Amino acid sequence: MKLETHAWPATYGDRAQPRMGFFTDTSVCIGCKACEVACKEWNQIPMSIKGFTGNSYDNTVALGANTWRHVAFVEQTLAADAREGESLVAVAERQAAIDAGVHTYQEGDGLRWLMASDVCKHCTDAACLEVCPTGALFRTEYGTVVVQQDVCNGCGYCVTACPFGVLDQRKDDGRVWKCTLCYDRLKDDQQPACAQACPTNSIQFGELSQLRERAEHRLAALQDAGQRKAQLYLADEQDGVGGAGAFFLLLDEPEVYGLPPDPVDPVRDLSSTWGAAAVATVALGAGLLAAVFGGRR
């Protein structure tokens, strides 16, 4: 199992810690959003009310500068003759379902409600980190990827580089904010706030190697129980980001949850070559300039 990244553990020598991560088991997520709130509480994130979205019970919309954990709600209807893209109302009208027979909404014959807590993936091949010109983004001794608020100048390169759309600039601030995997808490042997809060242990924090092992067992159990589409997401080092520090057990295809099916680190082709170093050096140079001359707001 490949866990090594460009910077971890090599650059830390004796100070390197085991690579830590999240295993988010969406099969036991009850959609309570404790993770969203616990994260905001710990990281003192500004409130941002987006209003009623109508998107099931999701009113925080997506991961962003002010939402570092985000719970997706997917109401799946398996109506036999539903057409792609058709609204529920339209289906009902067409079926004249008012007079239709009575069915229960059990999985397989009607409806299921999937919930999944999304987060920064802390990729093994992390594009954000690789393109960051200031050194604001760095890989920690835990193998996680963190934006340093005292360094970030808000250039936004990382925002476009991230294949998941995780990185985001805060409007009134300009800087980029995202999940730090509670870097500060880790230093004090505490769990990240979201994992600590999660009522059903859907969010599990721990050493990545152990989490992957646990996830394999859980996947096998679910598949045995007939969850045919159950799958691990970002637990494979062969994928486009080299696997991730935060990976998921999904009950359906990633697209269903709004996750990219085949995420790719856009600067990956350059990796393991001098190219990566060149990108990084340029980035560091830009960072020097930005830091020295750009100043801080």
Partner 1 sequence: MTNRRRLIAPVLRQLAGDPLGLGRAAQSVRSEELTPRTSTADRVVQSVCPYCAVGCGQKVYVKDEQVVQIEGDPDSPISRGRLCPKGAASEKLVNSPMRETKVRYRRPGGTDWEELSLEQATDMIAERMLRTRRDTWEEENEDGQPLKRTLGINFLGGATLDSEENYLIKKLFTALGALSIENQARI
Partner 2 sequence: MGSNMAEQHPVGFQWVIEAKERGAKVIHVDPRFTRTSAMADLHVQIRAGSDIAFLGGIVNYIFDRDAWFKEYVQHYTNAPVVINPEFQDAEDIGGFFSGWDPETGAYDIESWGYDESSPEAAAGKAEQQTDVSGEQAHGAHGIKLSGGDPPHVDNSMQHERCVLQILRRHFARYTPELVSELCGCSQEDFLKVAQALCENSGRERTSAIAYAVGWTQHTVGVQNIRTAAIVQLLLGNIGRPGGGILALRGHANIQGSTDIPTLYNILPGYIPMPHPQSGASLEKFIALNGPTTGAWGNLRHYIVSLLKAWWGDAATSENDYCFQYLPRIDGDHSHYAMMLKMLDGGVRGMFCVGQNPAVGSANSKLMRLALAKLEWLVVRDFQPTESGLFWKDSPEHETGEVRAQDIQTEVFFLPAAAHTEKDGNFTNTQRLLQWHHKACDPPGDARSELHWIYHLGRAIRSKLADSEDPRDRPLLDLTWDYPLQGPHGEPDAAAVLQEISGMSADGSFLSSYDELKGDGSTRAGSWIHCGIYKDGVNQSARKRPGQEQNWIAHEWGWSWPKDVRILYNRASADPEGNPWSERKRYVWWDAQDGKWTSLGDSPDFPATKAPDFEPPDDAKALEAISGDKPFIILADGRGWLFAPTGLVDGPLPTHYEPQESPFTNPVYRQQHNPTRQTFSRAENPYHPRGGEQGAEVFPYVLTTYRLTEHHTAGGMSRIVPYLAELQPEFFCEVSPQLAAERGLEHGGWATIVTARQAIEARVLVTERIKPLQIQGRPMHLVGVPYHWGGVGIVTGDSGNELLPLALDNNVHISEYKAATCDIRPGRRPRGPARLELVEQYKQRAGVKT
Q: What is the 3-state secondary structure (H, E, C) of the chain?
A: CCCCCCCCCHHHHHHCCCCEEEEEEHHHCCCCCHHHHHHHHHHCCCCCCCCCCCECCECCCCCECCECEEEEEEEEECCCCCCCCCCHHHHHHHHCHHHCCCCCCCCCCCEEEEEEEEECCCECCCHHHHHCCCCCEEECCCCCEEECCCCCCCCCHHHHHCCCCCCEECCCCCCEECCCCCHHHHCCCCCCHHHHHCCCCCEEEEEHHHHHHHHHHHHHHHHHCCCCCCEEECCCCCCCCCCECEEEEECCCHHHHCCCCCCCCCCHHHCCCHHHHHHHHHHHHHHHHHHHHHCCC
For partner 1, the binding residues in 127-146 under the rule CB under 8 A are: 129-130, 135-141, 146
Q: What is the closest distance, in whole angstroms, from the C-beta atom of residue 207 to partner 1 in the complex?
A: 18
- 188 lies in the binding site for partner 1 (CB under 8 A): yes
- 73 lies in the binding site for partner 1 (CB under 8 A): no
- 270 lies in the binding site for partner 1 (CB under 8 A): no
User: Applying CB under 8 A, what is the total number of residues that bind partner 2?
Assistant: 48
- 57 lies in the binding site for partner 2 (CB under 8 A): yes
- 37 lies in the binding site for partner 2 (CB under 8 A): yes
Q: Which does residue 283 touch among partner 2, partner 1, none (CB within 5 to 8 A, set by kind)?
A: partner 1
Q: What is the closest distance, in whole angstroms, from the C-beta atom of residue 151 to partner 2 in the complex?
A: 27
Among 14, 15, 51, 80, binds partner 2 (CB under 8 A): 51
Q: What is the closest distance, in whole angstroms, from the C-beta atom of residue 191 to partner 2 in the complex?
A: 15
In the bound state with partner 1, the residue whose beta carbon lies nearer, of 29 and 219, is 29
Question: What span, in angstroms and rounded, lies between the C-alpha atoms of 272 and 65?
Answer: 30
Among 19, 24, 26, 33, binds partner 2 (CB under 8 A): 33
Among 1, 4, 110, 288, binds partner 2 (CB under 8 A): 110
In the bound state with partner 1, the residue whose beta carbon lies nearer, of 91 and 270, is 270
Q: Which residues bind partner 2 (CB under 8 A)?
A: 28, 30-34, 36-37, 40-41, 47-54, 56-57, 59-60, 75, 77, 87-89, 91-93, 97-99, 101-106, 110-115, 199-201
Residues lying near partner 1 in the complex (CB under 8 A): 5-8, 10-13, 15, 32-34, 36-38, 41-42, 129-130, 135-141, 146, 148-151, 182-185, 187-188, 190, 193, 196-199, 201, 276-277, 280-281, 283-284, 288, 291-292, 295-296
